[in-house]
Amino acid sequence: MKKLIIAAVVASIFWFVMFSPWTAPYINFWIVMSIAAGVLITLSFVFRKDWKYQFSFNIKDITIGIGSATILWAVFFVGNEVSEMLFDFARPQVDDVYAMKEGQSPLILAFALFFWIGPAEEIFWRGYVQRTLSGRVGEMKAFILTTLIYAAVHIWAFNFMLFMAALVCGTFWGFIYMKNRNLLTVLISHALWDVAVFILFPIL
C-alpha cells in the first residue's frame, strides 16, 4: 500500500504543476505531461511485475475500445451543449482547456496523445492504481476510489468543466476496466478519445 500512496502522491504533484495557476503559466504543459507519463509508467512497472495477462489482443475487446471512444465523444458533445445552456461559465472554461494546445503542432500532439500520454494514463490509473486497490478493498470500492482520485488531481485547475470531464472519463474507463479486465480496451478508448476530442473533432 505504501508504494501505491507514493505513486498517487507523485501523480498529484505532476497534476498540480500542470494545472495550478501558481505553476501552469511557467511551464510547457505538454512537455511536463509527457514527462509525467514516463514517470508514471515507470512507477507502475517497477511497483508491480504481473502485467502478463493485462493486454489481451482480440477483436471483441479492440472493438469495445473503439466503440467506447466514439460513445464517450458523443457524451461530451451532448454534455457540452447542455452545460452551455445551464452555466454561463461552461464555454469559457472549455475554451481554457483547448487553449493549452495553442501554438502546438496538431500532428505532434496527436502522436503524443495516441502513442504516449493516453496509454500511459490508463496503464497507471487503471492498470496500476485501480488493479492494486481491487486486491485490497474489492473491485467496486477500487473503481470508486480510483475515479475520485483521478478527478481530484484535476481540481488544481479550478475549472469545474475540466473536473467534471475527468470525473466522467474516470467513471467511464474505470467501469469498462472493472467489467472487461483488459487494459488494452481502455488504452485504445482513451488514446482514440484524446485525439478525437483535442485534435480531430474538438467540441467547440
Please provide the average confidence, as pLDDT, over all residues in the chain. 94
**What per-residue confidence (pLDDT) applies to 76?**
96
What is the per-residue pLDDT across 7-16, written as a single tens digit (0 to 9) for each?
Answer: 999 999 999 9
CA 18 to each of CA 106, 124, 157, 194: distance values in angstroms, whole numbers, following the listed order: 20, 17, 8, 17
Q: Which amino acid is at 52?
A: K
CA distance 91 to 95: 6
In angstroms, the CA 88 to CA 154 distance is 21
Which residues in the chain show pLDDT less than 50?
A: none
Phi, psi of 20 (to 5 degrees): -70, 145
Q: Report the C-alpha gap between 195 and 28 in whole angstroms.
A: 19
The pLDDT of residue 176: 96
pTM: predicted TM-score of the whole model, two decimal places: 0.93
User: 117 near 34, Cβ under 8 Å?
Assistant: yes
Query: What does the pLDDT read at residue 30?
Result: 96
Check residue 204 and give its pLDDT: 81
Cα 144 to Cα 46, 73, 109, 164, 175: the distances in Å are 24, 22, 30, 15, 9
pLDDT of residue 52: 82
pLDDT of residue 3: 93
DSSP 126: I
Q: CB 69: neighbour CB atoms within 10 A? A: 24
DSSP string, 46-105: HH----TTS----HHHHHHHHHHHHHHHHHHHHHHHHHHHH-TTHHHHHHHHHGGGTTS-
Tell me the CA distances in angstroms from 134 to 48, 67, 103, 172, one per residue in order. Answer: 14, 26, 41, 17
Name the residue with cell 457524451.
Answer: 75
